[in-house]
Structure 1
Amino acid sequence: MSATLPASGTRTARAAGTVHAGYRTLWRWHFYAGLFVMPFLIVLAITGTIYCFQPQIEPLLYPHRLVVTPAGTPRLPTDTLLSRAQASLPADAKPLRAHIESNPARSAEFVFALANGSKQSVYLNPYSGEVLGTLDVDRRFMQVDRMLHRKLLLGKPGELLMELAACWTLVMIGTGVALWWPRATSGGSGSAWRAALWPRLGAKGRPFWKSLHGVVGIWLAVGALAFVVSGLPWTGSWGKQFKALATRVNAGAPRGAWGGGLPLKSTLPGAPTRAEGAPAMQMDHAEHAEHAGHDMSSMPGMVMDDLPLPNVPWAVGAMKVPQSPDAATPEPPRLTLDQVVARVRALGVASGYDVALPSTATGVYTVSYFPSDPQKERTVYIDQYSGKVLKDIHYADYGAVSQVISYGTSLHMGRYFGLANQLICAAISLGLAALAVTGFVMWWLRRPARTVGAPSRERAAPPMRAWKAGLAILAVVFPLMGATILVVLLLDRLFFGSAKNLSAS
């Protein structure tokens, strides 16, 4: 909702020069953007703030599962812990992932796929091997919060709605800044800026809310813009297309990530190997999903985003982890998890990473290390038989776009510089929620009878070429948003076109 507009379209306001040519056009678009964005903005702000404090919240929610008392005895081998975790579940449970953590006060965690399609995390005391409990992966509080943040728990439709909300927030920010921008008054430009940057605390009613909304909005504008821009690359529609484009121009995923070079698969001893340059024996993403016949999340070997990993660097999310048809030869013993941990430690990563376990005879161990410092991100593929490192991807291997997005993601999640980063993110998020609330209050105080209350059109609006060009650019860059811009224009002409029945106050 717009709150950067004058209390009314009065002659006094016009005389002061606060209402300029094109003002009502901007106000109208600010109103439409706010009308759509407001409920989603509140959801994004609350869920984002909660997720930002995940490291502090989860141990409080699940203390008996996540937290253990450090002991003077060594931790049990990882394979022993995995075996005990599997023994606590039905015999048909399949191990998917292990979380490797050296923090002496944290439990060991393993994730299994159950026959009913659900995934269960099993927590153990790493010193005694005692099973501390289980959690449904998809019903874990932070996972529910994350899915609310990304897709409103509505699957693909919710994901598209949240993407649209983010795109329209750009319109809301741009129009809000333009409406707020101080114009010279009789008191001089200095007084205009002072008044614009500090709320009128002595005002009453709608003028107070308008002043508060405008000041909060301008102080948050840069942070809000950074939030939106850093979040868009993770969206389900535009984000995936952007990732593919960045890769095609060698600015995204590392070279060879999309199937170039040798296939990343374990080689069965005695099995024939593919000559370099020969076509990799793999299905594309959609075909593999069709032939799998069940939940993709239990089928490692597709793309990194499909693996049962809690966090994957953006740069490698679309990277194929291909599998070949199972060989006819008997399957030899594969590398133990402890041996994988030892190899990863030798590569310089000691703790805080996840290992996706191979589910087929030619699958690989996939290691994802997603720390707070983007420059330390690692993705490693290890042959499950020989222990050979098939690919070790560092931050330096990313393209320029992916490197920037890695930093943006870390800042967006409040991880880059500790508690201060979390507090800044929380302030921006809750400030955005406050903008939605104050905008609603302003609309409520001036709400007209039997109408939406959109601002009336200007009778002689200027060409506003820059504004139209900006909308056109947004429509081209974000095609989904472009379609909704056309819908808004159509509805505006059909239902909200008459200035007679629209509030101008």
Structure 2
Amino acid sequence: MRSFLRTAHKYLSLTFALLWLLQAATGTLLVFRGELDDAMLRGPDEPLSPATFGAAVTRIAAERKPSVLTFVLASEGSRNRFDLLFEDPDGRTRVVRVDGVGHLVADRPRDHDYPAPGLFQTALDLHESLFAGQRGMWFVGVSGLLLLTNIITGLIMAWPARGQTWRRVLLPGTAGSLPAKLFKWHRALGLALAAFAIAIVATGVLQEYPVDDWMGVQRPEPPARKSALAPTVPFGDALVTAFARHPGAPIALIEMPGTDHPWYNIRVRAEGESRRVFGWTSVFVDAQDGSVLLDRKAADLPTNAKVYNSFYSIHTGEFFGLGGRIAVVAAGFWLVTMSALGLLLWWTRRQARTTVRPSHARMVATTK
């Protein structure tokens, strides 16, 4: 059994090492992408003024027709900056970043013309889908499952035998040949962080599939209604209405009205939510009369929704605050180090075998 596990572990690692290293590198880069991206974009950073911001967004949306403003998102770095997502007639999306009073910070593609969307958006799309859309997400999910299997297999093989002390395994020292040293440190590092890596990889895999559907998670929505009329309630007024319900809560994501959803879905991050930026507290404001159709706090969501919403924050470390995010960065470096040690171990053993075989052949020849 151990022989089979060792063979499977080796060949899975050799086959997918490059992809897993790429995933680790981009994932590590993305942990603090919000702060880094905003820091690299010099420009205005005025605090949010709901009425002024709403009027500016309405003006920008009118100027960019026939493109349609679909979402407003927090920038993830500064609380004073927001991304306006415009869908072009050809289905492509551009993102316009503005500050809290509507001053332009950046205007760039979001899902095309790479690397024009910027380093972090490019890294995100590569990390999530390899630039291949839904098919890419399924493939990344499969590779993640194989990585998860490989980590668990390695953990089983590295587990100390009966009578072997943990101290000796986790502090292997530097004695022995190069292959022996590589093996001992590969084993020690694997045992040290494997459990944490399993949690990160598992929750990452869950982002690639429609797990919310499988878990029966239903997004909060107001009573069904349709309207072909253009919104009459200004965006700024809708913001003021939402903030009156949740004063001081920062904007997370806003879905603009459409013919099949004639309301503003204004999501904010309430105190105590596990997500750092994209909270799940939602206020639905009617786009025709400005009334509140539904006010759903994240704390009132059913258990299955809370569990599902925690997956992403565990994957990025947000669930555990700043320390958790730093730990995820460490896990990214851990995976890179484990891959490097594993490849070096395989190479040194291979070189040792190729050296021994010719020597053995010469010895046999001289005895004939």
Instruction: State if a TM-score over 0.5 links the two structures.
Output: yes
Contact 2:73 2:82 in 1 (8 A): yes
Equivalence map 1:417-436=2 (5 Å): 417-436=320-339
Aligned residue for 1:387, secondary structure, equals coil
Partner AA of 2:218 in structure 1: A
* Residues in 1 aligned to 2:154 and 2:345: alpha-carbon distance in whole angstroms: 14
- Equivalent position amino acid for 1:114 in 2: D
> Higher strand share goes to which structure?
2
Determine the structure 2 residue equivalent to 1:196.
169
Structure 2 counterpart SS, 1:63: coil
- 1:206 deviates by 1.4
Q: Name the structure 2 match of 1:406.
A: 309
Over alpha carbons, which structure has the higher Rg?
1
Q: Distance in 2 between matches of 1:182 and 1:105?
A: 48
Answer yes or no: is 1:149 the counterpart of 2:47. Answer: no
Q: Which residue of 2 aligns with 1:253?
A: 218
* Partner deviation per Cα, 1:188-240 (whole Å, 9 max, x = no partner): x25x43221123334442112111111111111110111122223211xxx31
Structure-2 separation of matches of 1:361 and 1:404: 29
Equivalent pair of 1:355/1:366 in contact (CA under 8 Å): yes
Match of 1:486 in 2: none
Q: Does 1:95 align with 2:72?
A: no
Q: Relative to 1, partners in 2 of residues 1:117 and 1:409: Cα closer, same or farther, differing over 3 Å?
A: closer
Seen in structure 2, the aligned counterparts of structure 1 residues 406 and 75 have a Cα distance that, compared at 3 Å, is closer
Measure the CA separation in 1 of the matches of 2:166 and 2:3. Answer: 21
Structure 2 residue identity aligned to 1:343: T
The residue that corresponds to 2:204 in the other structure is 231
Task: Identify unmatched segments of 5+ residues in structure 1.
Answer: 1-21, 269-325, 452-505
Aligned length: 343
Provide the residue aligned with 1:438 in structure 2. 341
Shift of 1:165: 1.6
TM-score by length of structure 2 reads: 0.81
Cα distance between partner residues in 2 of 1:422 and 1:209? 29
Question: What's the counterpart of residue 38 of structure 1?
Answer: 17
Aligned to 2:240: 342
**Residues 1:50 and 2:29 aligned together:** yes
CA contact (8 A) 2:189 2:338 kept: yes
Kept after mapping to 1: 8 A contact 2:264/2:286: yes
Q: Is 1:382–1:388's contact at 8 Å kept on the other side of the alignment? A: yes
Name the CA distance, whole Å, in 1 between partners of 2:47 and 2:152: 52
- Out of 169, 172, 177, the position equivalent to 2:150 is 172
Per-residue Cα deviation, 1:237-290 (whole angstroms, up to 9, x for no partner): xx31x432321xxxx336x87xxx942x35x5xxxxxxxxxxxxxxxxxxxxxx
Separation in 2, partners of 1:108, 1:47:
23
- CA deviation profile, 1:344-372 (whole Å, cap 9, x unmatched): 11221632322121232753222233578
Q: Per-residue deviation at 1:145? A: 1.5
Shift of 1:24: 0.8
CA distance in 2, matches of 1:384, 1:165: 44
2:132 and 2:72 map into 1 onto residues whose CA distance is 28
Higher share of residues assigned helix: 2
Seen in structure 2, the aligned counterparts of structure 1 residues 92 and 333 have a Cα distance that, compared at 3 Å, is closer
Q: How well do the aligned residues superpose, as a CA RMSD in angstroms? A: 3.2
Q: Please state how far the C-alpha of 1:407 moved relative to its aligned partner.
A: 2.8
Change (3 A) 1:109 1:170: closer
Ranges of 4+ aligned residues in structure 1 off by more than 6 Å: none
Match of 2:182 among 188, 200, 209: 209
Counterpart among 248, 253, 258 of residue 359 in structure 1: 258
User: Taking structure 1 as the reference length, what is the TM-score of the superposition?
Assistant: 0.60
Do 1:233 and 1:243's aligned partners in 2 also have CA atoms closer than 8 Å? Answer: no
Contact 2:51 2:237 in 1 (8 A): no
1:105 & 1:362 partners in 2: Cα distance? 27
Displacement of 1:427:
0.6
Q: In the alignment, what sits opposite 1:111?
A: 85
Say which SS state the counterpart of residue 215 (structure 2) adopts. Answer: helix
**Partner of residue 97 from structure 2, selected from 123, 127, 134:** 123
Higher relative contact order (CA 8 A, sep 6+): 1
Aligned residue for 2:127, secondary structure, equals: helix
Q: Is the 8 A contact 2:69 2:86 kept in 1?
A: yes
The aligned counterpart of 1:135 is 108
Answer whether contact 1:85 1:124 (CA < 8 A) is retained.
Answer: no
- Structure 2: where are the runs of 5+ without partners? 112-116, 355-368
Which residue of the other structure, out of 68, 83, 87, is the alignment partner of 2:45?
Answer: 68
AA paired with 1:131? Answer: L
Instruction: Name the residue aligned to 1:281.
Output: none
